[in-house]
Structure 1
C-alpha cells in the first residue's frame, strides 16, 4: 500500500475546469500524466502534463493506466466516478492507499435537479453498455427512471424498445450535456417524433406510461411471461418453491433441471445482488432459458448446458439448490456431498418413485415434506367441476 496515492480520479463535468474543487485543480497541476477520453481532455486547458487518450473499448485502457503506477497520474471520469462511472472498475485493480477520488455532481444528480425529481424515489441505472431489457422489471405506470445512454442514436433505440413492450406513451426527457454550456433538455413520447440532432453525452428521464405487461412483485409470476415447451414449474407451485428457497441478498442458487428458467429468473428478481446458475441437459431448453433471462431483464443468469451431477463440477458453491426434475439417488448423494453446511435444498417430486426417494431422505436428513394438491375449475357439461393436477411432494431442508 502506498503512503500517498499515485492515482487521482478526477470527476469532470461538462463545464470543464470551472466546476472543479481546489483539490482537483491541484491534482491536475501536479500530474505527470493525465489520462482520459478525448471529450474530457478537450474540456481542459493546455496542461504541463503528458496527456494520454483513453482507448475504446474502455477495458483496453486499464493496463495502460496501471503501467504508470508510481508516477503522479490523473484519470479523468464523468461526474461522480462511483455513480455508474469508471471509478469502481479501477478500484478493483488497486489497493486502497494507491488512489483517491475527487467527484463532482453526477449525471443522475444533475438530471434530478433539472427535472425536479426526488432522486431517492427514482430508479437510476446505466444503459450505455447494458441491454434495455434490464428495465423490464421496473416498467409500471407512473414509474420514473433516469439512465445514461451510449449516444444520441440510443434514444431512438430505447424508444423503439419501449414501444415494443407496450409503453409507447411514456414521456422521454432527453438530457444533453448536463451542467455545461451545451446543456439542452427536450421532451417527446417514445411513440412520437424524436429529435434527430441529439448530442453526446446524453442521458434520459423516463416517465412510464402505457398498457404494457407489468411484472408483479410477489413470487409466482404468471406462466405466460416465460416462453416454454411445457417444462415449467407452474405459478402456484413456483410461489411455494421460491418461498421454501427463501432468496436473500447476495446469495447464489443452483437450479438443476432449469426447464424454462422460471425459478432462476424469479430468484434473480428478488434482489439485484442475487446470483443463479441454471443447469439444463436439453440444449434447446438451455437456449430458451438464456432468451427468457435476457428478455426479462436478468441476463446475469448463468446457464450451463449439461447433465447433473457432472455439470455441477467447478460451479461456485450455492446458498440454495432447487431440483425440479430428474431426481435420483445418485443426484441427491452428489449434490448433498457438494454443498456446504447451511445450504438450503428444495426438491419437487411428481412420480411415486421420486416421492418415496424424498420421503427416505427426509427421514434420514430431516427437513420438511409438503404435499401440494391443486385443482382448477373447468367446464363440466353446462356447469363446472374441479380438475386436479398431479400432486407434488416438496422436500425442503438445510444441510
Structure 2
C-alpha cells in the first residue's frame, strides 16, 4: 500500500492571514493536522483530527514517515526547510511524498528588520541543542541570528557571549516577528543581564570582543591554551597539519581514536559545520575533559565514547575519516580502524615513539599512503637570551582507502 503524502505548511506570528491560498487549502483539506499547541490555535476549526507535537517528537515523526490514510498537514514555524520539520522529513521520505509551503523565516524577518544582508549573516539553531553552538562563530564583526526556545533564550545567548569575552557584542531580541505584537529590543550582552522575554523570539548578535580577548578562528590550529588539558594534546602546529590532511567535508564522520583532550575532533567540527565526530578515549577524566572543551569551543554536538579501542569501536557508525593519536601500539587497533573506514575515506595516524613509528611503517607497507616527519621548534627564553626549543618530532602516516 502506498504511503500517504505529507504537506508541511510554514506559519508565522501573523497566523492564518499570512498563508498563501495553496497553504490554506492544504490545511482545510487535511484529515490530520499536526503542530504545536500555539500553531494549531492559529488555524480555523476544521473536521480534521488535531495532534500536538509530543515531547520528544521522535515517535510521532516515525508514525508520519511510516504513512497513514488520508491527507496529512504538518504546521511548522516560518520556513520548514530551515531548521524545521520539513528538513527532517526530507531526509527520511521520498521527494514525491513531500509538499512544502514555506513562510518567511524568522531569519529572513530579522535580517530585514536590521538591514543585514542575509548572505553575510550566519544562522545558529539552539532549539533542542545547546546554545554553546554559538561559540564557534564568535569572531569580531560577524553577524549571527540565533534561534532559541523558551523565555530564557536571550539570557542564555548573553551568558555565552559574556563568558567568552564578547560582552560588548550588540544583542538584539526580536519577538513575534511578522505578527501584530512584534517587538524589537536593542541591547548588549553585558547590559542584558538576567531578563526574560516572551517565548517566541530570536536573537541577533553583532560580535564585538572585549579588550584583552583573543578571538578564535574556525581554521584549524587553535592555540594550545584554548584547551583544558593534562599535557595529552596534539600541539598547535601538528594539529593544523593533521586537519589539513584529514580534510573535513560536508556531512562526513570522523573517528578521533585516543582523543585525549578532543582537539582533533573539535577542530574537525569547527572547520565544517555539517560534519560529525566521535571521540574515543579510554580514560574517563579525559573523556569528560573533551566534552567540556567541545562545549567551550562551540561544538557541543561531539559524541564522546569512553572506552578502550579497538573494543570501543564496535557498533559505531562507519567513519569517512579516522585519526589515531593515542594507543597506536595496541594490537589490532590500526587494522580495525582501516577495516571500518569507508571506501574513499582518509586515515591519519601520528606517532612520537620508535614503537609507534614501526607500526606506521608497517601500515604504510600494507596499505600505501605516505609517511611524513614533522619537526617543530619554538623560540623560548634561555637565561637572558632566546633559543630554539625543539618539540618531540612526529611521524605521520596518511592514506586514502580505495573502493572495495
Same fold by TM-score greater than 0.5: yes
1:347 alignment partner, one of 335, 346, 349 = 349
> Deviations along 1:171-224, whole A, 9 cap, x unmatched?
111111111111111211111146956223111111111224421233211111
Q: Is the 8 A contact 1:137 1:214 kept in 2?
A: no
Give the TM-score taking structure 1 as reference length.
Answer: 0.91
Q: Is the 8 A contact 1:165 1:213 kept in 2?
A: no
Give the TM-score taking structure 2 as reference length.
Answer: 0.90
1:189 — aligned with what? 188
CA distance in 2, matches of 1:378, 1:97: 64
Range moving further from structure 2, 314-323 or 339-348: 339-348
> In structure 2, the residue corresponding to 1:358 is in which secondary structure?
helix
Gaps of 5+ in 2: none
2:108 — aligned with what? 109
> In structure 1, the residue corresponding to 2:378 is in which secondary structure?
strand
**1:295-334 paired onto structure 2 within 5 Å:** 295-328=296-329, 330-334=332-336
> Deviations along 1:53-92, whole A, 9 cap, x unmatched?
3334434543665798212332222111111222223445
2:166 — aligned with what? 167
CA distance in 2, matches of 1:39, 1:209: 35
1:222 — aligned with what? 223
- Cα gap change, 1:327/1:69 in structure 2, threshold over 3 Å: closer, same or farther? same
> In structure 2, the residue corresponding to 1:192 is in which secondary structure?
helix
1:359 — aligned with what? 361
CA distance in 2, matches of 1:188, 1:332: 53
CA distance in 2, matches of 1:193, 1:238: 37
- Cα gap change, 1:46/1:255 in structure 2, threshold over 3 Å: closer, same or farther? closer
1:398 — aligned with what? 400
CA distance in 2, matches of 1:374, 1:218: 20
- Cα gap change, 1:75/1:232 in structure 2, threshold over 3 Å: closer, same or farther? same
> In structure 2, the residue corresponding to 1:44 is in which secondary structure?
coil
Aligned residues: 398
1:248 — aligned with what? 249
> In structure 2, the residue corresponding to 1:151 is in which secondary structure?
coil
2:46 — aligned with what? 47
Range moving further from structure 2, 381-390 or 158-167: 381-390
| RMSD of Structure 2 on Structure 1 (CA) | 2.4
> In structure 1, the residue corresponding to 2:135 is in which secondary structure?
helix
> In structure 2, the residue corresponding to 1:191 is in which secondary structure?
helix
Return the offset for 1:229.
0.5
Q: Is the 8 A contact 1:177 1:183 kept in 2?
A: yes
> Deviations along 1:125-172, whole A, 9 cap, x unmatched?
222222121111211112111122212322122212211111111111
> Deviations along 1:78-120, whole A, 9 cap, x unmatched?
1111112222234455443333221211111111111111111
**1:92-107 paired onto structure 2 within 5 Å:** 92-107=91-106
> Deviations along 1:265-318, whole A, 9 cap, x unmatched?
111122122222222111111111122112222222222222222222222222
Return the offset for 1:364.
4.5
2:375 — aligned with what? 373
Q: Is the 8 A contact 1:175 1:203 kept in 2?
A: yes
- Cα gap change, 1:366/1:37 in structure 2, threshold over 3 Å: closer, same or farther? closer
Q: Is the 8 A contact 2:219 2:270 kept in 1?
A: no
- Cα gap change, 1:139/1:96 in structure 2, threshold over 3 Å: closer, same or farther? same
Gaps of 5+ in 1: none
> Deviations along 1:312-345, whole A, 9 cap, x unmatched?
2222222222221222253333433443443322
Q: Is the 8 A contact 1:2 1:97 kept in 2?
A: no
**1:16-31 paired onto structure 2 within 5 Å:** 16-31=15-30
- Cα gap change, 1:182/1:255 in structure 2, threshold over 3 Å: closer, same or farther? same
**1:50-69 paired onto structure 2 within 5 Å:** 50-59=49-58, 61-62=60-61, 69=68
- Cα gap change, 1:242/1:30 in structure 2, threshold over 3 Å: closer, same or farther? closer
**1:272-311 paired onto structure 2 within 5 Å:** 272-311=273-312
Range moving further from structure 2, 66-75 or 255-264: 66-75
Q: Is the 8 A contact 1:35 1:65 kept in 2?
A: no
Does residue 270 of structure 2 align to residue 269 of structure 1?
Answer: yes
